[in-house]
Amino acid sequence: MTTTTRSESDAAKHAISGTSLCVFCQAYSGNRDAFNVIWEDADFIAFRDRSPASLHHFLLIPKIHIDSVKNLTKQDTDMVRRMETIGNDILNRYQVPHTHRRMGFHIPPFNSAHHLHLHVQALPYTSLARRLEYPVIGGFGTFDKGFSWFAEVSQTIRILQRGSTVGTFPC
């Protein structure tokens, strides 16, 4: 009886969060062939962005559904650190110099896919318009990040580590 109740409530949660409709969840459950997977382990999977904004452009996602960077808290700091390490490992494979690397998260409502994804990019960007989709705005005072719709991965780590959350406003 208890088991039935639990699985019903899980199913309800699933439906409410929209996980079953999530395109990125399908990269590791059911529709993997639709993705150009370039890296994978038990917890994360990376694939090429369908519409690359830069020389190389990959998306690294956790194999659990998390809506966005806005949902992350201090306890997720290690996960984001791990994503940064994997991103660098991937860029190492393509021999991308450190000065030509950019990694970060879009912040809702400016995210196009609603499953946490780290953009892992080798510069240059393909155009100025594409570059403007990934603005890294430095912080000031006690803020690690200024007003922007993109949080660079190291900014994200610093913000989470001090117990704050990532948003478009300075944080």
Tell me which residues are annotated as active site.
Answer: 119
Tokens of 134: 């990934």
Q: What angle do CA 54, 60, 63 make, to 5 degrees?
A: 160
Nearer to Zn ion, 38 or 113 (CB): 113
Could you say whether residue 106 binds Zn ion (CB under 5 A)? yes
Could you say whether residue 25 binds Zn ion (CB under 5 A)? yes
Cβ contacts of 71 within 8 Å, gap of 6 or more: 116
Of these, 96, 115, 134, 157, which contacts Zn ion (CB under 5 A)? Answer: 115
Binding mask 47-86 for Zn ion (x = CB under 5 A): ------------------x---------------------
Which amino acid belongs to residue 34?
A
Q: State the number of binding residues for Zn ion (CB under 5 A).
A: 6
| 111 dihedral zone (left: phi>0; alpha: psi -120 to 50; beta) | beta
Which amino acid belongs to residue 52?
P
Could you say whether residue 137 binds Zn ion (CB under 5 A)? no
Could you say whether residue 107 binds Zn ion (CB under 5 A)? no
Q: Are 101 and 123 in contact (CB under 8 A)?
A: yes
- The site for Zn ion (CB under 5 A) is made up of 22, 24-25, 65, 106, 115
